[in-house]
Structure 1
Amino acid sequence: MAKTGIFMMHINLHHSKGVSAVLARRMSVMQTWLVLIQEPWLYRERISGLPGCGTIYKGPLEKAPRACIAVKGMDPILVPKLSGERLEVVIASAYFPGDADRSPPPIEVDILIQHCQKNRIPLLLGCDGNSHHRVRGSTNINDRGRDLMEHLAGTDMEILNRGDTPTFQIINRSEILDLTLCSERLRSRVLDWRVSNEESLSDHKYILF
């Protein structure tokens, strides 16, 4: 792994064994350092089909790990383009259920954001937001998208998504559902965010940065 940066990606695996297998092969070829996944393939209530998992961050999420899983670097991470500076961050993956009664984000994600903001810990969050808003390139605005944007406006979290390339695509529908969020302090250090055209076998596309 190069010392100047960390290659990352995230994707919704749609609970699929086949999608997980494609991702595992891609990780081995591309030497991906970290993948943020939503809706993984589970076997006997354990994530299956992928290389080893990170350490669960036992911060504010001990009682509710299903909606949001977070990891905290065991060693400080070298910040790209800032020679000699090291920065410890919390990196999390989250799924925002589209049929939930409560507007996004889920309470577990809100707790994590507030915890990191209060303790000045930079946070990087990859999520399937299940919401629409034109600010981030969606085709329309729905109540869930409006509520999420209003909520984020009261935090130090910023949306890294750029452009209008769909992150979700099926035969008769395409939309931007997947979001990459990070603390303001981390914004300038996340580089080359993009949606990949590579086949994932999922109805969601790979997001790379």
Structure 2
Amino acid sequence: MADNMEIAQVNLHHAAAASAVISSRFTAEKLGTLLIQEPWVYRGEVQGLKTEVNKVIWHLSSERPRTCIVVRSNIDFFCISEFLTQDLVAVQARDTEGKDFVLASAYFPGETATAPPEAVERLVEHCRLHKLPLIIGCDANAHHTEWGSSDCNVRVSILPKISSTGKPSYVGAL
């Protein structure tokens, strides 16, 4: 059973230095889980996040995974393989009270016209059917001038859609 279930979300923008910083914070702050988008990848492998106190989960057969989850080794979890893609990683974990919940790290490709991706919609439905709380950390590629972007895009409207379909939670970025 995990002593610490703190969860953080971050987009690393494929940077080795950002990976080193978040890995150091994960260890120093004794975080439980990291939901990561755009990890540093070299030769099809997520780099810079593995330590002796954690496990890193990503879609191993993807040449360029755009998401991964880092889980502290003392947390009871398993990967939900039907929701394991280049752009989505989901794990089912157990909290300190013995209750199961689902953690997901998702990347919504900016080049696609629709969002959220079908795999995320299926994950939300899976959690609703099995009455599992869902925590999603994602890069939705949504832009809005109120967030400091230079423009607005239609992606802004997808966040209420996800939050109204099964009550997932959102994790703030570091």
Which range, TM-score by smaller chain?
Answer: 0.7 to 0.9
Q: Are 1:128 and 2:139 an aligned pair?
A: yes
* Aligned 1:8-157 pairs, distance under 5 A: 8-51=7-50, 52-54=55-57, 55-58=78-81, 60-61=82-83, 65-73=85-93, 76-78=94-96, 85-101=97-113, 103-132=114-143, 138=147, 142-146=153-157, 148-149=158-159, 151-152=161-162, 154-157=164-167
> Are 2:163 and 2:169, in contact at CA under 8 Å, matched by a contact in 1?
no
CA RMSD of aligned residues (A): 2.6
Separation in structure 1 between the aligned mates of residue 140 and residue 120 of structure 2, nearest angstrom: 11
Percent of aligned pairs with the same residue? 32
The code of the aligned residue for 1:39 comes to E
With the length of structure 2 as denominator, give the TM-score of the two structures.
0.72
Which residue number in structure 2 is paired with residue 188 of structure 1? none
3-state SS of 2:10 partner = strand
Deviations 1:151-199 (A, max 9, x none): 3365122554xxxxxxxxxxxxxxxxxxx3xxxxxxxxxxxxx6xxxxx
> Structure 2 vs 1, CA of residues 26 and 114 (structure 1 numbering), >3 Å: closer, same or farther?
same
Separation in structure 1 between the aligned mates of residue 98 and residue 5 of structure 2, nearest angstrom: 13
Deviations 1:112-147 (A, max 9, x none): 11111112111111011111469xx6468532212x
What runs of 5+ residues in structure 2 fail to find an aligned partner?
Answer: 58-77
The code of the aligned residue for 2:25 comes to R
> What's the offset of the Cα at 1:27?
1.6
Separation in structure 1 between the aligned mates of residue 163 and residue 22 of structure 2, nearest angstrom: 33
What runs of 5+ residues in structure 1 fail to find an aligned partner?
Answer: 79-84, 161-179, 181-193, 195-204
> What's the offset of the Cα at 1:35?
0.6
Separation in structure 2 between the aligned mates of residue 2 and residue 87 of structure 1, nearest angstrom: 12
Q: Which is greater in Rg?
A: 1
With the length of structure 1 as denominator, give the TM-score of the two structures.
0.61
Separation in structure 2 between the aligned mates of residue 131 and residue 118 of structure 1, nearest angstrom: 28
> Structure 2 vs 1, CA of residues 53 and 2 (structure 1 numbering), >3 Å: closer, same or farther?
closer
Separation in structure 2 between the aligned mates of residue 153 and residue 27 of structure 1, nearest angstrom: 27
Separation in structure 1 between the aligned mates of residue 27 and residue 169 of structure 2, nearest angstrom: 29
Which residue number in structure 1 is paired with residue 72 of structure 2? none
3-state SS of 2:162 partner = helix
Separation in structure 1 between the aligned mates of residue 6 and residue 23 of structure 2, nearest angstrom: 15
